[in-house]
């Protein structure tokens, strides 16, 4: 078998992988770059069920928000410092604009109204986090991914789809990967960016290569859906223009609860992690619903001897799938959840809030979520009434389960290189980022480090 030797081999084609490739060819166009993706080159209409793998990663079907702040989205501020963070953030933002993401940056302009909101929220124990957002919407986000694909192909970057990498090897100072067809490919530098979907695989490779691993955390919760008019005073540009509501609350039992991923006039969706179906949300530039949805998530950290936060999250999500039926999630009226009983189709048919997700089973999330998490969510909904009128009413819809997996952290340096020279870990799979912007930033950091070192590394 003829050896193939690349300057850089990128495993995973989400934001980190794409931006690593973009930066490498920008800085040194003659580089031989190979990208390997276990998923497909997805179609926006046909492949909507496959949201977590495929070219573009989970970001291709996300709500498309660039949160232009160090306050949310990861730990890069701690790694880079404020000045370097802001410089890199603005650079990555400009590249998204270059590929079609020229939506205006949304930031509340009425500082007086924001101050009033923060004061009102604070009296209820809610911290309000406000930051600029460039919001593409799901449809525009997918178009940006398409533009990046076309550009990389034009620049002769090789992209393999439907091509899982079985393992990463280090032999006699050389780095290589073994593809699922048994082919071995050598590279001077290997960038592992498999996303949260690829965490189990990444941990297996790290252990096989004797790299240190620190367990991650998991956020468990639900997706809340309400008629949009009850949130427009917060979300609409004519009012406050908070397109991504971020409220943080610590419960009586000291659990951290937060709102996440607000989708004004959006749609509740599902996404799949292996054999687990979870809940998410999305919104579009030109397609609107009558509802707004957002997540409420409770952070779960574990202590010794338990080390599998991801496994715990998947277990809870599978339980919801078991009760809902194969491939489905549970939807429930908040009033029924409070009463400790399941919802039925007849009750949903009469409900004021009409569900935007049809692939659901009316049920009882009280039979799924652990008491500490369920009670934290209900406590948060009660507190949110001070900023979102009627959010705690009986007709509010609750979907479950929503899970955000934060990958275990493999030991890396400030340039995201492991103890093995030439082997890098980027994106959400690194456990240091939580979204499009900071994940993309890690790809740029890695690419610049490779170029600065003169490309050649190779497993020493």
Are β-strands 5-11 and 184-192 bridged in parallel, bridged antiparallel, or unpaired? parallel
End-to-end CA distance of the chain: 24
Give yes or no: residues 25 and 88 share one domain: yes
Please compute the mean of the pLDDT values over residues 61-87 and round it to a whole number: 90
Give yes or no: residues 298 and 342 share one domain: yes
Give yes or no: residues 290 and 357 share one domain: yes
Residues 6+ apart with CB under 8 A from 161: 37, 39, 40, 41, 54, 55
User: Diameter of the chain by CA atoms?
Assistant: 68
State residue 459's pLDDT score.
Answer: 52
Per-residue model confidence as pLDDT tens digits over 263-275 = 999 999 999 888 8
Give yes or no: residues 222 and 362 share one domain: yes
Please compute the mean of the pLDDT values over residues 229-247 and round it to a whole number: 87
Sign of the Cα torsion 396, 401, 407, 408 reads positive
pLDDT value at 1 more than 50: no
Give yes or no: residues 377 and 399 share one domain: yes
Note the Cα 108 to chain centre separation in Å: 24
Mean of per-residue pLDDT scores for the chain: 91
Per-residue model confidence as pLDDT tens digits over 167-221 = 999 988 899 999 999 999 999 999 999 998 888 899 999 999 999 988 888 899 9
**138-154 and 15-27 are packed helices; what angle lies between their axes, rounded to 10 degrees?**
40
Give yes or no: residues 424 and 395 share one domain: no
Count of domains observed in the chain: 2
Give yes or no: residues 393 and 354 share one domain: yes
Domain span including residue 159: 5-101+136-214+408-452
Please compute the mean of the pLDDT values over residues 438-455 and round it to a whole number: 95
Helices and strands per DSSP (H, E), number in the chain: 12, 22
Instruction: Decide if 459 is inside a domain.
Output: no
Per-residue model confidence as pLDDT tens digits over 146-175 = 999 999 999 999 999 999 999 999 988 899
Give yes or no: residues 424 and 329 share one domain: no
Give yes or no: residues 125 and 70 share one domain: no
Question: Assign residue 173 a region: left if phi > 0, alpha if psi is -120 to 50, beta otherwise?
Answer: left
Instruction: Decide if 460 is inside a domain.
Output: no
Per the DSSP assignment, residues forming a β-bridge with 185 are 177
Rounded to two decimals, what is the model's pTM?
A: 0.84
Instruction: Decide if 458 is inside a domain.
Output: no
Q: Check: CB of residue 334 under 8 Å from CB of residue 369.
A: no
DSSP code string of 190-234: EEE--TGGGHHHHHHHHHHTT--EE--EEEEEEEEEEEGGGTHHH
Give yes or no: residues 22 and 128 share one domain: no
Give yes or no: residues 200 and 347 share one domain: no
Q: How far apart are CA 265 and CA 271, in angstroms?
A: 19
Give yes or no: residues 391 and 272 share one domain: yes
């Amino acid at each position: 078998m003829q050896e193939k030797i690349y300057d850089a081999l990128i495993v995973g084609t989400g934001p980190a992988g794409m931006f690593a490739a973009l930066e490498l060819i920008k800085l040194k166009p003659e580089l031989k770059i190979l990208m390997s993706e276990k998923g497909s080159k997805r179609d926006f209409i046909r492949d909507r069920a496959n949201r977590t793998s495929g070219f573009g990663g989970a970001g291709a079907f996300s709500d498309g928000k660039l949160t232009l702040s160090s306050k949310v989205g990861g730990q890069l501020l701690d790694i880079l410092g404020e000045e370097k963070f802001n410089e890199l953030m603005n650079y990555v933002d400009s590249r998204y604009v270059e590929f079609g993401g020229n939506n205006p940056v949304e930031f509340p302009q009425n500082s007086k109204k924001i101050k009033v909101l923060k004061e009102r929220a604070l009296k209820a124990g809610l911290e309000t986090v406000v930051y600029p957002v460039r919001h593409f919407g799901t449809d525009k986000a997918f178009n940006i991914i398409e533009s990046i694909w076309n550009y990389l192909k034009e620049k002769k970057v090789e992209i393999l789809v439907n091509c899982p990498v079985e393992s990463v090897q280090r032999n006699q100072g050389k780095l290589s990967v073994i593809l699922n067809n048994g082919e071995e490919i050598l590279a001077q530098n290997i960038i592992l960016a498999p996303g949260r979907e690829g965490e189990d695989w990444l941990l297996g490779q790290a252990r096989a290569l004797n790299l240190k691993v620190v367990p991650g955390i998991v956020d468990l919760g639900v997706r809340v859906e309400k008629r949009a008019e009850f949130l427009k005073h917060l979300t609409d540009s004519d009012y406050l223009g908070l397109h991504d509501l971020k409220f943080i609350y610590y419960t009586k039992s000291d659990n951290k609860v937060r709102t996440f991923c607000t989708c004004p006039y959006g749609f509740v969706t599902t996404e799949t992690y292996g054999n687990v179906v979870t809940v998410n949300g999305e919104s579009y530039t030109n397609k609107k619903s009558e509802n707004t949805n957002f997540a409420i998530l409770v952070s779960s950290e574990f202590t010794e001897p338990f080390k599998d936060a991801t496994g715990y999250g998947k277990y809870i999500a599978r339980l919801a799938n078991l009760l809902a039926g194969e491939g489905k999630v549970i939807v429930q009226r908040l009033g029924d959840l409070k009463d400790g009983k399941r919802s039925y189709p007849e009750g949903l048919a009469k409900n004021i809030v009409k569900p935007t997700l049809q692939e659901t089973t009316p049920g009882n999330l009280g039979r799924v979520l652990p008491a500490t998490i369920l009670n934290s969510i209900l406590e948060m909904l009660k507190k949110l009434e001070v900023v979102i009128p009627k959010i705690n009413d009986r007709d509010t819809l609750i979907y479950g389960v929503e899970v955000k997996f934060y990958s275990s952290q493999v030991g890396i340096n400030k340039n995201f290189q492991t103890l093995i020279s030439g082997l890098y870990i980027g994106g959400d799979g690194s456990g240091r980022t939580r979204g499009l912007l900071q994940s993309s930033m890690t790809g740029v950091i890695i690419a610049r480090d490779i170029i600065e070192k003169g490309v050649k590394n190779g497993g020493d």
